[in-house]
Structure 1
Amino acid sequence: MTPTASVKASPERTAGPADPRRTAPPRTAPGRLRRTLIAWGFCSPFIALFATFGVWPIFSSLTMSVTDITSRDLRTPFRVNFVGLENYNALFSDPTFARAILNTFYFVAVGIPLTMVIALALAVALNSGIQRAKVFFRVAYFAPVVTSVVAIAVVWRYLYKPDGMINSILALIGIHGPDWLNDPSWSMPALILMAVWRHFGIPMVIFLAGLQAVPAELYEAARIDGATRWRAFHSITLPLLRPTTLIVAVLLSVSYLQFFEEPFVMTSGGPLDSTTSISYYAYEQFGFGNYGLASAASYVLVAAIALLSFVQFRIFRAKA
């Protein structure tokens, strides 16, 4: 006898209480359009300013980087010719630009780690060791950030003179100091030292905020387990500061790769192009009227910033 399959009827779903959101009348098209137009009206001043002073200059400089435009072509823009990558080829064929690339990456490779180490050390001291006058030290360490670069340059030029304070201190221990800003071997280290002193304030504040977000219970547990301060710092503080370190590294990279103010006010790119940076090179070419070449140098700098930021995101990204 063949068994027959019995089919059970599924019970019907009982209708629940009506959802007031579903029973609400739909919004009318004129009312939605009116709200959209009002929102765009409030946003339009910012959009206009951003398009005028942000998008348009970027588009213009990108266009200039692939043309042969110079200062002579401003009154006759129709004579400008499309030259493709010739400006970029000219850049990398110029030994001055090659020296500017090496100077910039030397500045970045030494300046960023030194700034981060000093900023983190001071942040740790302000967060734990220094209890009295903590506010005073925070303000004092942050003061160089808000001080005029011209005033800073005047002071540091006096410090770097052959008979300045730095060489006087070195003479006390029997070291004959160099002519810092006029010696090609010492001009870049001198600018790096000044830049680190000038820029470590913001990373210090960011690191201090990151340290204050670390739970104190973790340090107490580590102390109970017998961990030393260095072990706790290495195993707790540094891993939890990875997002903060990423922010600091990216901000410093963007700032240091645009290395311009220090050579501009201190050395004018000398001596012997030892402090010429990519930004300063672009500035000089713009002053010479080589607008296409200056724009191409600027986009080489943009590519360097993007590449270094990508590498830093890969290195300091949070581990799963």
Structure 2
Amino acid sequence: MSKIAKVNLRNGLLFVLPWLAGFAAFSLLPFLLSLYYSFTTYDVVSSPVWVGLDNFVQLFKDPLFWKSITNTMYYTLFSVPLGIVFGVALALLLNMKVKGMALYRTIFYLPSIVPVVASSVLWLWLFDPQFGLINGLLDAIGIAGPGWLVDPAWSKPALIVMGLWGVGGAMIIYLAGLQDIPQEMYESAQIDGAVWWQKIVYITLPMLSPVIFFNLIMGLIGSFQYFTQAYIITSGGPNDSTLFYSLYLYKNAFSYFHMGYASAMAWILFLLIMAVTLLVFKSSARWVFYGGER
């Protein structure tokens, strides 16, 4: 290695050193410590005590652990597909050549940048069964509104509806993907006599599939870690109907100070997300189309 190359390597390492130090201190070290704590009993104020696999054994005997998984799976199975459908449909509408479209795009995107705490408080008022706007509108047309967030049967659907309000972030990505589709393909389909739905099925969706794949992965990861809205609005109630996995993990760690138990939960969540992500990646070869492929 020449002297100039050595100097460049040294300077490069010096520039990247602050990031490496931050990564080691705030990401890598907590990652490794959580693995160690998952095999211990640790309450923060006392020294951790090695218990082996006891935390994992207790988890599988914990009814709230299974309840939190069930709630999270319910939310994932409905919120992720609905988010994709609504995001793509909204992007298709906002991709039309209509006067003032820039304003419409801005309006639909704004909810995704509203702080989560503020939007949660807003929806808490909207979902109020007695004085909320939603039930007020339903009453005006003669429909008795449900209890929403105070009813175990409606609490998760209410949070799913709330999540659809912020679909604008994904919509922007879909919109960018739509504008990248060559117009010649639509023109050729038009000449061949294709109608609008055939263009969507045979051109738009295949060409948009990489973007759908990306949002599917991000949506799955986000739904498995769903926490903030449930913590602010319901704190897991009523009757543990919104006790999502991440919320139960948080309670074990910072309410009950069962850090070892919470670390074991974190590693199970990590393995679950990895398994689902790998499964989706494996299936992508069947339905994701890349324009450069032959």
TM class by smaller structure:
over 0.9
In the aligned structure 2, how far is the partner of 1:108 from the partner of 1:132? 37
Residues 300-319 of structure 1: pairs in structure 2 closer than 5 A:
300-317=268-285, 318=288
Which one of the candidate residues 41, 59, 65 is aligned to 1:68? 41
Which one of the candidate residues 268, 272, 283 is aligned to 2:239? 272
In the aligned structure 1, how far is the partner of 2:277 from the partner of 2:240? 27
| Change in 2 beyond 3 A, CA 1:40/1:292 | same
Task: Give the Å deviation of 1:234.
Answer: 0.3
Task: Give the Å deviation of 1:93.
Answer: 0.9
- CA-based RMSD of the aligned residues comes to 1.4
Match of 1:112 in 2: 80
Match of 1:188 in 2: 156
Matched, 1:45 2:13: no
Q: What percent identity do the matched residue pairs reach?
A: 37
Task: Give the Å deviation of 1:32.
Answer: 2.8
Q: Report the TM-score when normalising by structure 1.
A: 0.86
Which one of the candidate residues 177, 201, 220 is aligned to 1:234? 201
In the aligned structure 2, how far is the partner of 1:139 from the partner of 1:123? 12
Matched, 1:159 2:126: yes
Match of 1:209 in 2: 176
Deviations 1:8-45 (A, max 9, x none): xxxxxxxxxxxxxxxxxxx63x4332221111111111
Match of 1:139 in 2: 106
Deviations 1:142-169 (A, max 9, x none): 1112111221122111111122211122
CA contact (8 A) 1:150 1:265 kept: yes
Which one of the candidate residues 55, 62, 67 is aligned to 2:28? 55
Task: Give the Å deviation of 1:278.
Answer: 0.7
Q: How many residues align?
A: 286
In the aligned structure 1, how far is the partner of 2:153 from the partner of 2:70? 14
In the aligned structure 2, how far is the partner of 1:257 from the partner of 1:293? 18
Q: Which runs of 5+ in 1 are unaligned?
A: 1-26
Which one of the candidate residues 193, 207, 218 is aligned to 2:185? 218
In the aligned structure 2, how far is the partner of 1:154 from the partner of 1:69? 34
In the aligned structure 2, how far is the partner of 1:94 from the partner of 1:72? 24
Match of 2:50 in 1: 82
SS in 1 for 2:185: helix
Matched, 1:35 2:8: yes
| Change in 2 beyond 3 A, CA 1:316/1:131 | farther
Give the letter aligned to residue 260 of structure 1.
F
Match of 2:116 in 1: 149
Q: Report the TM-score when normalising by structure 2.
A: 0.93
In the aligned structure 2, how far is the partner of 1:84 from the partner of 1:124? 53
SS in 1 for 2:95: helix
In the aligned structure 2, how far is the partner of 1:251 from the partner of 1:162? 33
Deviations 1:19-78 (A, max 9, x none): xxxxxxxx63x43322211111111111111111111111111111111112341xxx2x
Task: Give the Å deviation of 1:90.
Answer: 1.1
CA contact (8 A) 1:195 1:262 kept: no
Match of 2:94 in 1: 126
SS in 2 for 1:274: coil
CA contact (8 A) 2:117 2:229 kept: no
In the aligned structure 1, how far is the partner of 2:29 from the partner of 2:112? 30
Deviations 1:84-118 (A, max 9, x none): 22111111211011000000010010000111111
In the aligned structure 1, how far is the partner of 2:16 from the partner of 2:227? 34
In the aligned structure 1, how far is the partner of 2:226 from the partner of 2:139? 31
In the aligned structure 2, how far is the partner of 1:154 from the partner of 1:42? 43
Give the letter aligned to residue 161 of structure 1.
D
Q: Which runs of 5+ in 2 are unaligned?
A: none
CA contact (8 A) 2:120 2:233 kept: yes
In the aligned structure 2, how far is the partner of 1:68 from the partner of 1:83? 7
In the aligned structure 2, how far is the partner of 1:97 from the partner of 1:36? 49
Residues 18-29 of structure 1: pairs in structure 2 closer than 5 A:
28=2
